[in-house]
Amino acid sequence: MSFSKQQVLSIIRQTGFVPLLSHHDPFMAQHVMEAAYRGGVRAFEYTNRQPNSFEVFTHLLKAAEKLPGLALGIGTIMDAATTEKYIQAGAHFIISPILKPGMATVCHAHKKLWIPGCATLTEIVTAKELGAELIKLFPGSVLGPGFVKAIMPVVPGLQLMITGGVEPTEKSISEWFRAGATCVGLGSQLFTKDVFEKKDWVKLEQTVRFVLDMTMSVKA
């Protein structure tokens, strides 16, 4: 299934929650993605941090064909060439922990949502000037909700995705949304070592649904 840039952005805005997964086993990653989908997730990021990340991601793309409405993106992309590689493979959106103009050029050429990582006001404004409609604030644990609250009035129409420092609790999530966040990303706090050891995909589905429901309630 293909998605326009605006469709992906709309999905992310509606749910306010994007799970982030990095795992070397394609079938384990598939189980996690499917459990998240059953829990209500419709935008999912696989993170490019494994030696075989490309193989795992292409496996997930194939599995996602049976999950209607799921936008599958790739994270931790660091350069234009890798951006092109994953878009050609079928990535629906691109996320990076850094701001690199060459990646914007590739994403715009393919009409894909580009979510660059920024940690300063200068980077955020530059990203917007380069056409980023949603910006990843990273690392959230260092910057904090106070940073978001302070910059929102300075940059009209700013849409931020917070990753690194978001916990699956009402307190943490509500603090970020009250500050002005558009969405939050959760990875290791959600997909713990225990999840993979026990392979309790039903419990994971329930956990994801709980976090999603909590996020949408806080947003409302």
Integer CA distances (angstroms), 55 to 27, 60, 198, 206, in order: 11, 9, 24, 28
Band (pLDDT 50/70/90 cuts) for residue 116 is very high
Specify the pairing of strand 43-47 against strand 71-75.
parallel
Mean of the per-residue pLDDT values of the chain: 96
pLDDT score of 220: 82
Tens digits of per-residue pLDDT, 24-51? Answer: 999 999 999 999 999 999 999 999 999 9
In the chain, how many domains are there?
1
Report the distance separating Cα 184 and Cα 166, nearest Å: 7
Token look-up 């990273």 returns 138
- Amino acid making up residue 14: Q
Q: What share of the chain in percent tops pLDDT 70?
A: 100
Query: What CATH number has the domain bearing residue 32?
Result: 3.20.20.70
pLDDT score of 64: 98
Provide mean pLDDT across the span 171-181: 96
Q: What share of the chain in percent tops pLDDT 90?
A: 95
pLDDT score of 165: 86
Per-residue pLDDT at 2 exceeds 90: no
Instruction: For the sheet with 113-115, list strands across it.
Output: 113-115, 93-95, 71-75, 43-47, 17-21, 183-186, 160-162, 135-137, 117-118
pLDDT score of 216: 92
Range of the domain at 104: 5-219
Tens digits of per-residue pLDDT, 60-113? Answer: 999 999 999 999 999 999 999 999 999 999 999 999 999 999 999 999 999 999
Tens digits of per-residue pLDDT, 154-166? Answer: 999 999 999 998 9
Per-residue pLDDT at 1 exceeds 80: no
